[in-house]
Structure 1
Amino acid sequence: MADDQEADRFSARARRYANLGVSAGAFAARAGARRLVGGESADTARDLAQALGALKGPLMKVAQMMATIPEALPADYAEQLISLQSQAPPMGAAFVRRRMQAELGPDWRARFAEFDLAPAAAASLGQVHRAKGLEGEDLACKLQYPDMASTVEVDIGQLEFLLKFHRRMGPAIDASEIAIEIAARLREELDYEREAKLTRLYGAMLADRPRVRTPAVFEALSTRRLLTQEWLEGEPVTRFDRAEAATRNAIALGLFEAWWRPFSRFGIIHGDPHLGNYSVVMRGAEDAREVEAINLYDYGCVRIFPPTFVGGVVDLYRGLADGDESRVVHAYESWGFVNLSRATVDALNIWARFIYGPLTDDRVRTIADGVKPGEYGRREIAAVMQALKAQGGALKVPREFVFMDRAAIGLGGAFLRLGAELNFHRLFEDTIEGFEATALATRQAEALERVALA
């Protein structure tokens, strides 16, 4: 039986390599021909998106992660990739039955009062089914697609396929650590037992934040490849783009607490902050509704930072606010940047002042005054890259910086889309009040030990 399973895994990897080879080969042929005749890079970017999009699954997730990290890919490539849907074909009813039996045993169906074999949602690594527990609980069952471990390993190996194009462009940054970080997080996402622990961890970290709700985990109905949680009802955040200002601001406040509170108190972030991972709970009559809470979903991509990294975030904030250059440099070094010249620090400060601007500005404002939704940070990123390229060489970005920056961009973009106007300075001051790295280290260790992640 073990030999058969190994053969199946080998067969799955072989098929994946073959499909990747065909897609990459066709793309390379078109790109090479276009270079000979001086074709436009935008056409080449569209070909790359089509080649990867046809494969779906983890590689598409990797491509989209790369696309959200500044300068990890050329801008026209990133724009094409980020627009694609990272979604594999859904498993049919018969296949779902076999998968559920493999995870919970032959009597799996008797463990639910109801189970919808049609998926309620699908993503790159698995799909979600609605169900009811034997005591009437509303459940969300996330079932991983078959052969995902093999598929992920193949696709991680193909990161080099994306990075080749990055290196050819004479980039301002060295993306090698970015690739290592993405690979580590993607492997973690395969482990639903780990995600169950992280879900409980977030419930504990946000227990005193009534604006944010996290789902309960049903351990007896969960395995390494099946995660059963409480189904949290809510409305999509995108439905509130044109809502009253008070509603939009309340949603933004919930997003702020869901992200900054765990980071500033425990050194932990939700590394996938796109709007599909939140929903809004409303209360009251139809003509007088107000925000009760936001739901936070999907804990597969969670980053745990050393306390020194969080200390660097606070140091950079204080250094920029006080004009303390030595503290700013110390912050960058505590994140893992090395051999920093004055010119490099000046370049990094362009981005830092943009991200920290609303946090150091003590007034009610948007996250980026005068910036349109969808353009958050673009001008500043371009300025940083121009300044770095003028120095020659490529700045090596520490791996711990990758998801911190990605999450900050995602969160800022969400605030901008909502048109939220808050005093971000006072909110941030509240989250870091009395910050001490040693105290954070103690809280983090205790929290991780409680959920057996120590």
Structure 2
Amino acid sequence: MSDLPRKAVTRTAKLAALPLGFAGRSAWGLGKRIGGLSAELVGHDLQKRTAEQLFKVLGELKGGAMKFGQALSVFESALPEEIAGPYRATLTKLQEAAPPMPTSTVHEVLAEQMGEDWLELFEEFDDMPSAAASIGQVHHAVWHDGREVAVKVQYPGAGEALISDLTQLGRFVRMLGPLIPGMDIKPLVSELRDRVTEELDYGLESQAQKLYAEEFAEDPDVVIPDVVHQCERVLVTEWMDGVPLAEVISDGTQEERDRAGQLLARFLCSGTARTGLLHADPHPGNFRLLPAEEAEVGEGEWRLGVMDFGTVDRLPGGLPPVIGTALRMVIDGEADAVYELLCSEGFVKDSIELEPAAVLDYLVPVIEPARAESFHFHRGWMREQAARIADPRSPAHQLGKQLNLPPAYLLIHRVTLSTIGVLCQLGATVRMREEMEAWVPGFTQEDLLQGDGTQDEEDGGEDSPTAAEASA
């Protein structure tokens, strides 16, 4: 494989073939139904064939195509098991690997960014990449002071590829709707496209990672590699071994799954409160479990290693208090208060009038994990939630179409859903309420007494997705 973006015409042609292939399979499915096969069986086959082609193309192209595939892959739990099983391995590959950049290209980028004598900065440098992702690949090396480091090298042309891919994907995302039940993919593509500049800026990523590393330096549960060196297209950080979360998902013991799930929930809830930044790329490829001897904690314990801070949401005050307040009100069954709060924050537009009790019924199943002392996340529960929202005949689907998601909450919403998707892949039992009480503003009764939980945010505009469009 050559460097990105290959030939733009080639990338565009491969992506353009996706909707054509889907249209062809739809016509094939119609013929099968006419021939007597049930719509359900034909639908499952269409979904499987579409996913196989989609993830094969996305993984080959890297760039924005692979970024989109990684974002989708965490929602695999929402698919029926008979469909998800055959291509789960394909999704996992997107989270951990991709065809490598030629060694000569890697050396050219390093020479351009770090100087012709770049190799003198390292005691060792492995030309074979240890990981490859959407806009760059990682090489294991030893820095001149003896520290093991990870050297992330950005693909030449990554910016053009990201923008081109996401623009092309945006033209036909609605045709891929059946891939993940209950999820409108259009807002996801729009949000990824809006963050292209940040994703490519290793300076911003370096700042975010340094802040997280400093805050979590003495943390007993979370490990963040520190930044060693940074250029425009090269980022050098401390090396981190450990068990990739994808391996825990596929082969981990229940103890490992539960520990990983608890730490992931803790990181999601605490990270923003402690740093003012939301880590916004929670797919399994960005996490490791570090065993006791590496983590220097109690016997049998694990710590969570977190990588890749290229996509963050800047929330200086932490998560908006309205989130915790609304969740607590739902748990307490305060339908009228919840509805009033959602209206004031723009989740219900002025032109819409809904029954508060119906809104409460819509939200209650979604917040099950926060109600119980501990909650077992699993694919079956995720599929139930997806089916409830996806079925056009269900009251939940109809109500979801009328709710609105203000832009200020879009990325928070996606990160939360993505994390839940990973927890369901893990099959972890997690004390979610414990983490929310400790870290989510507005969630405890004491928080409610101290303030009304609202914030001064602009209401969603006409382009804001509905709750049904943004949900999985």
Where on the TM-score scale, by shorter chain, does this alignment land: which range? 0.7 to 0.9
- Partner of 2:129: helix, strand, or coil? coil
The one of 385, 402, 423 aligned to 1:380: 385
Q: CA deviation at 1:153?
A: 1.3
Higher RCO (CA < 8 A, seq sep 6+)? 2
Partners of 1:73 and 1:396 lie apart in 2 by: 25
- 2:266 counterpart residue number: 257
The one of 354, 370, 378 aligned to 1:359: 370
Task: Call closer, same or farther: CA 1:159–1:347 in 2, change over 3 Å.
Answer: farther
The one of 283, 288, 291 aligned to 1:274: 283
- Partner of 1:131: helix, strand, or coil? strand
Q: CA deviation at 1:388?
A: 5.2
- Partner of 1:38: helix, strand, or coil? helix
- 2:358 counterpart residue number: 346
Provide the aligned C-alpha RMSD in A: 4.2
Task: Call closer, same or farther: CA 1:49–1:419 in 2, change over 3 Å.
Answer: closer
Task: Report the TM-score, using the length of structure 1 for normalisation.
Answer: 0.76
Partners of 2:241 and 2:273 lie apart in 1 by: 28
Instruction: State the one-letter code of the partner of 2:13.
Output: G
Task: Call closer, same or farther: CA 1:206–1:313 in 2, change over 3 Å.
Answer: farther
1:282, 1:293 within 8 Å by CA — same for their partners in 2? yes
2:169, 2:189 within 8 Å by CA — same for their partners in 1? yes
Partners of 2:347 and 2:83 lie apart in 1 by: 27
- 1:232 counterpart residue number: 240
Unpaired stretches in structure 2, ≥5 consecutive residues: 32-41, 456-472
2:125, 2:141 within 8 Å by CA — same for their partners in 1? yes
Partners of 1:415 and 1:348 lie apart in 2 by: 24
Instruction: State the one-letter code of the partner of 1:382.
Output: A
- Partner of 1:380: helix, strand, or coil? helix
Q: CA deviation at 1:29?
A: 6.2
1:266, 1:440 within 8 Å by CA — same for their partners in 2? no
- Partner of 2:232: helix, strand, or coil? coil
Partners of 2:337 and 2:427 lie apart in 1 by: 33
Q: Does 1:56 align with 2:59?
A: no
Q: CA deviation at 1:415?
A: 3.8
- Partner of 2:413: helix, strand, or coil? helix
- 2:230 counterpart residue number: 222
Partners of 2:223 and 2:4 lie apart in 1 by: 38
The one of 311, 318, 321 aligned to 2:328: 318
Partners of 1:415 and 1:69 lie apart in 2 by: 10
Task: Call closer, same or farther: CA 1:153–1:128 in 2, change over 3 Å.
Answer: same
2:198, 2:311 within 8 Å by CA — same for their partners in 1? yes
Q: CA deviation at 1:374?
A: 3.2
- Partner of 2:320: helix, strand, or coil? helix
Paired residues in the alignment total 418
Partners of 1:144 and 1:111 lie apart in 2 by: 18
Instruction: State the one-letter code of the partner of 2:367.
Output: Y
Task: Call closer, same or farther: CA 1:396–1:112 in 2, change over 3 Å.
Answer: same
- 1:147 counterpart residue number: 157
1:69, 1:405 within 8 Å by CA — same for their partners in 2? no
The one of 170, 173, 185 aligned to 1:163: 173
Instruction: State the one-letter code of the partner of 2:146.
Output: G
The one of 12, 30, 55 aligned to 1:20: 12
Q: CA deviation at 1:252?
A: 3.3
Task: Call closer, same or farther: CA 1:412–1:262 in 2, change over 3 Å.
Answer: same
Q: CA deviation at 1:114?
A: 1.3
